[in-house]
């Protein structure tokens, strides 16, 4: 029997300013649920890892990496595995997600938050991108279910023209910007082409349900 078919054990449920967030377990796998919407799980992290791994392949010197959304820590863990990465900054809005990555989820991602190269910022990525003056070689974003399926309406501004321009201003020359999505989002793909001139799209099959999609563009 697959983990996804096993009964759910709720580990913790908490109220936040954005609603309810829940950590649950099925067998050996963990899932995070936000306001009743499935966000992520540990039973298949291939697309979360590919979000970073392919971007690393596209950049010759990925000195500084920015990861938007901590999740279960797979994207951060992937960045830390590359010896060329000197600093991996992860921006996460939910305090509970940070707490779970330091406790229940820490063994799953090899204690990524405690790594010497990790820099954690507890903030809303959408606002933080407009406030910071820092630049990065990679910006890898997985703060939502994608441009067509947003868990929070406020995240929409990350995917519009102004949001893409703000992200572009934080990319170093030759840098790569990647987005995770639960849908193929052809309109968003076209917006990326118009803004950056080209877009590379990877479809990642899932053992249960529809495939995930990763978008990559270069500065």
pLDDT at 18: 85
Q: What is the pLDDT of residues 172-205, one digit of tens each?
A: 999 999 999 989 999 999 999 999 998 999 999 9
- The region of weakest confidence among 42-46, 166-170, 215-219 is 42-46
Q: What is the pLDDT of residues 17-69, one digit of tens each?
A: 888 999 999 999 999 998 888 888 898 889 999 999 999 999 999 999 999 99
Residue (of 46, 43, 92, 53) closest to 71 by Cα position: 92
Mean pLDDT of the chain, nearest integer? 91
Confidence of residue 125 (pLDDT cuts 50, 70, 90): very high
- Let me know: does 192 contact 161? Beta carbons within 8 Å: no
Phi, psi dihedral angles at 167 (to 5 degrees): -65, -40
Sheet of 19-26, strands arranged across: 9-16, 19-26, 29-34, 37-41
pLDDT at 108: 96
Residue (of 64, 108, 61, 110) closest to 90 by Cα position: 64
Residue 136 has pLDDT above 90, yes or no: yes
Share of the chain above pLDDT 90, in %: 75
**b/e code 166-179 from CB counts within 10 Å (16+ = b):** bbeebbbeebbbbb
Confidence of residue 206 (pLDDT cuts 50, 70, 90): confident
d(CA 166, CA 163): 5
pLDDT at 40: 86
- pTM greater than 0.85 (yes/no): yes
Confidence of residue 7 (pLDDT cuts 50, 70, 90): confident
SS3 at position 53? helix
Q: What is the pLDDT of residues 69-91, one digit of tens each?
A: 999 999 999 999 999 999 999 99
pLDDT at 69: 94
């Amino acid at each position: 029997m697959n983990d996804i078919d096993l009964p759910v054990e709720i580990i913790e449920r908490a109220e936040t300013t954005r609603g309810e967030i829940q950590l649950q377990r099925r067998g050996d796998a963990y899932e995070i649920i936000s306001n009743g919407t499935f966000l992520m799980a540990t039973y298949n992290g291939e697309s979360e890892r590919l979000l970073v791994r392919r971007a690393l392949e596209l950049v010759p010197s990925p000195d500084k990496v920015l990861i938007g959304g901590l999740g279960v820590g797979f994207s951060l863990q992937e960045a830390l595995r590359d010896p060329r990465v000197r600093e991996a900054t992860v921006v996460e809005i939910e305090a509970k997600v940070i707490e779970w990555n330091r406790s229940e989820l820490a063994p799953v991602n090899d204690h990524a938050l405690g790594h010497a190269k990790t820099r954690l910022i507890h903030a809303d990525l959408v606002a933080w991108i407009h406030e910071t003056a820092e630049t990065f070689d990679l910006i890898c974003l997985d703060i939502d279910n994608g441009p067509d399926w947003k868990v929070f309406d406020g995240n929409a501004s990350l995917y519009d023209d102004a949001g893409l321009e703000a992200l572009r201003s934080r990319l170093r020359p030759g840098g790569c910007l990647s987005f995770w999505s639960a849908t193929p989002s052809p309109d968003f793909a076209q917006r990326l082409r118009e803004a950056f001139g080209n877009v590379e799209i990877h479809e990642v099959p899932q053992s249960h349900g529809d495939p995930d999609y990763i978008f990559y563009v270069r500065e």
